Amino acid sequence: MAGMSLESVNWVRLLAGFVFLYAVLQGAATALNSTLGEAGVIVGALVLLVALAVRSILFSQSPRASWHKLGLDKPNLRGLLAAFAISAVMIGGAATYFAFVGYDSIRPNAPWLALGIFAQAGIAEEVVFRGFLYGHIRRRHRFWRSAALSAAPFALVHLTLFATMDWKIAFASTVLSVWLSFPLARLYDLGGGTIWAPAIAHAVIQGVPKLMIADRYFPFFWIAAVMALMSLVLFIRPSGDSRS
């Protein structure tokens, strides 16, 4: 990498590490057939260990420093409260829909699947997208620029949905994934630069439609409700943050 500035080298390392971690995440989920979180605990543990190794190797950091940089420290209470509050409102919206429209059933082993979804969609995805990618950018730029820069790779990897879903749902899900980059990044900031608050919200967003078997209109209702409700997070400003 002779002739490249340190900043350029760091960008190459960051993007290379991101692509590798996403490949590990998707590869493990596919190999273990964990579409509903069936093997989510294994996937989450694997991604976490690999992310610590990748961060340490690429940026010459100790495991403890990598743990901190990946946003795995104890979160701020403010971030957790925001995540629990918005998650409760989203679940309430789904419950209201089911009360009026009804649903077919709840998937068997729902508690185990919920744990797997939290480990895979919550912890693993947030380690990759917020802890590794957004967190690195955020330490150098203001909130909106950081969230926008991290949204592009987030959107690109979600284009794979068109291979497995009806195009209308895949399109709506891709739009949702781009927009979610911003409120999830805000929850990361509210949590003091940790992944736990966005992991909670992310798990609820993916968990509700995966655990509940409902009519064909529910995915569209859920996407619209999530976009509207998660937008409220953007009105909360992290205390003491002058780089919003």
pLDDT digits (tens, 9 = 90+) for 127-152: 999 999 999 999 989 999 999 999 88
- Report DSSP state, residue 76: P
Provide the β-strand partners of residue 106: 212
pLDDT of residue 11: 86
How far is residue 205's CA from residue 87's CA, in Å, rounded to a whole number? 8
SS3 106: strand
Domain boundaries, the chain: 6-235
pLDDT tens track for 191-214: 999 999 999 999 999 999 999 999
- Report DSSP state, residue 112: H
Of the two residues 103 and 86, the one the predictor is more confident about is 86
pLDDT tens track for 12-48: 899 999 999 999 999 999 999 999 999 999 999 999 9
pLDDT of residue 240: 64
pLDDT of residue 101: 92
Provide the β-strand partners of residue 213: 105
pLDDT tens track for 47-99: 999 999 999 999 989 999 999 999 999 999 999 999 999 999 999 999 999 99
Contact 184, 126 (CB under 8 A): yes
Burial of 242 (0-12, 13-18, 19+ CB in 10 A): exposed
pLDDT of residue 2: 47
C-alpha closest to that of 199 among 70, 55, 111, 36: 70
